[in-house]
Amino acid sequence: MASRVCLVHYHEIGLKGNNRARFERILMDNIKAALAAFSVATITRISGHILVTFSVSGEAERAFPLIAKVPGVARVSLAFHTNREPGEYCAAAIKALEEFGEFNSFKVVARRSNTDYELTSMDLNKQVGEVLCNAFPDKKVLMKGCDAQVHVLVVQGSVYVYARSERGVGGLPQGSAGKVVTLLSSGIDSPVATWLLARRGAVPVPVHFSGRPQTADTSEYLCQDIIQALAPCVQVGRLYVIPFGDCQREISIACPSDLRVIMYRRVMYAVAERIAQLEGAKALVTGESLGQVASQTLENIMAVNEVVDIPVFRPLIGSDKQEIIARAEQIGTYDISTQTAPDCCTLFMPRRPETHAKLDEVHAAWEMFDHEAMIQQLVDAAEYIDFSAPTYKPPRCMRERHDELEIRYQRKSAEGKLRSLF
């Protein structure tokens, strides 16, 4: 009797030479973490694929679409696992084609990974092809441009047969690149930017600036919802929250109103850079898209960027809003991002923000408040909340036991609030 398994295909990690074994190990760990709610029996490597087996029937079918969303997965197939008996794998081929859905034409693609099997790939193609032609007499065999492909893969004593196969999100396994700090609002763009970096193998550490105590904390909960929507395929281990409302008020009183937004942003970048240093993150990530709103002109981006030394990645800089929305829908964050919540972006906004900031005016405004003290104060007031994410490792200084820190953590968490960082 054939059992159901998932066969995971990956391209890019195959290109990485000596790193290949490491990348495969990370990908297997991430698939295991993404399938924590399933009864996974084994995750192993076979002949350029990763094989996932389950101990409960019906789970392979349910896990199949989830595996497609794990970064590093190029394609996943829902296969039948049989022995080498032709009767077994030919019956599996019929079932595989039956479950494929609508089709008019098909072909068989057979491959054997070891040559101790007496039939060659050509023999297998012919043998399985004949059985399928008999089982589906009104369907055509087409070598080019067919609707369905029935794959037959012989690996040692086993045969894997599948027709249902779904394209994965691609990219690289998360954790194969280093950490990045992402500036996460609860808007549409920054969750997409965060996801894009995770798909390239980075471990995103989001920092959210809340309008608290000048606004409610709704945006903080939306950010948590966004992180949970990305899980379990994309892992985020920790969300930092910076209550920014009082500082925004101070800036709005001290600085010319048209430059407020740039001042808020400069402070946000500087605080995020400090968190990046603490976390050992090598870059910041934002959801900016050129010209999308007043603050995202080239001049304004430059006026904000100059406060940090660390690279700032803007993966959406050349994307149109419609493209970003389509991606947000695909990754499951759109509906959360369209819920309105006051955050620091809606607080103390000027009626006419500067769209083409002049650097000398920006520098003068920057000196109108004690920005160094403010940045330090915000870093000291940072709070965080942890999520289950095996790829995320907290900074070393926060892993070591430190009595005073421990006491503070306990006091904060006992109140049911986010934990205080310092």
51: number of CA atoms within 13 Å, CB side? Answer: 21
Does 296 appear as a known binding residue? Answer: yes
Name residue, tokens 């190029």: 74
Part of the chain binding ligand ATP (CB under 6 A), chosen from 292-300, 360-368, 370-378, 385-393: 292-300
66: number of CA atoms within 13 Å, CB side? Answer: 21
Q: Does 208 bind ligand ATP (CB under 6 A)?
A: yes
Q: Does 173 bind Mg ion (CB under 5 A)?
A: no
Please state, in angstroms and rounded to a whole number, the distance separating the CA atoms of residues 329 and 192: 10
Q: Does 378 bind Mg ion (CB under 5 A)?
A: no
Contacts (CB under 6 A) with ligand ATP, residues 341-370: 343-345
Does 287 appear as a known binding residue? Answer: yes
Q: Which is nearer to ligand ATP, 163 or 316 (CB)?
A: 316
Q: Does 194 bind ligand ATP (CB under 6 A)?
A: no
Q: Which is nearest to 315 in space by CA: 197, 204, 203? A: 197
Q: Does 345 bind Mg ion (CB under 5 A)?
A: yes
Interface residue with ligand ATP, options 135, 293, 307, 310 (CB under 6 A):
293
Is 210 in contact with 224 (CB distance < 8 Å)?
A: no
Which residue's Cβ lies closest to ligand ATP?
Answer: 187
Q: Does 287 bind ligand ATP (CB under 6 A)?
A: yes
Q: How many helices (H) and strands (E) does the chain have?
A: 15, 15
Q: Which is nearer to ligand ATP, 77 or 296 (CB)?
A: 296
Find which of Mg ion, ligand ATP, none residue 152 binds, CB within 5 to 8 Å per kind.
Answer: none
Q: Does 288 bind ligand ATP (CB under 6 A)?
A: yes
Q: Which residues pair with 150 in a beta bridge?
A: 108
Q: Does 271 bind ligand ATP (CB under 6 A)?
A: no
Find which of ligand ATP, Mg ion, none residue 190 binds, CB within 5 to 8 Å per kind.
Answer: ligand ATP
Does 153 appear as a known binding residue? Answer: no
Find which of ligand ATP, Mg ion, none residue 183 binds, CB within 5 to 8 Å per kind.
Answer: ligand ATP
Q: Does 52 bind ligand ATP (CB under 6 A)?
A: no
Interface residue with Mg ion, options 127, 182, 185, 248 (CB under 5 A):
185
In angstroms, give the least distance from the CB of 386 to ligand ATP: 18
Interface residue with Mg ion, options 187, 191, 206, 243 (CB under 5 A):
187
Name residue, tokens 């000398």: 360
Please state, in angstroms and rounded to a whole number, the distance separating the CA atoms of residues 327 and 105: 32
Cis peptide upstream of residue 71 (ω within 30 degrees of 0): no
Answer left, alpha or beta for residue 156, where phi above 0 means left and psi between -120 and 50 means alpha.
Answer: left
The long-range contacts involving 415-422, CB below 8 angstroms and separated by at least 24 positions, are 417/383, 418/220, 418/241, 418/383, 418/384, 418/385, 419/383, 419/384, 419/385, 419/386, 420/381, 420/382, 420/383, 421/240, 421/379, 421/380, 421/382, 421/383, 421/384, 422/379, 422/380, 422/382
In angstroms, give the least distance from the CB of 265 to Mg ion: 11
Interface residue with ligand ATP, options 176, 286, 300, 333 (CB under 6 A):
286
Angle at 151 (CA atoms; ends 111, 18), nearest 5 degrees = 55
Positions in the binding site for ligand ATP (CB under 6 A):
183-185, 187-190, 208-209, 286-288, 292-293, 295-296, 343-345
Positions in the binding site for Mg ion (CB under 5 A):
185, 187, 345
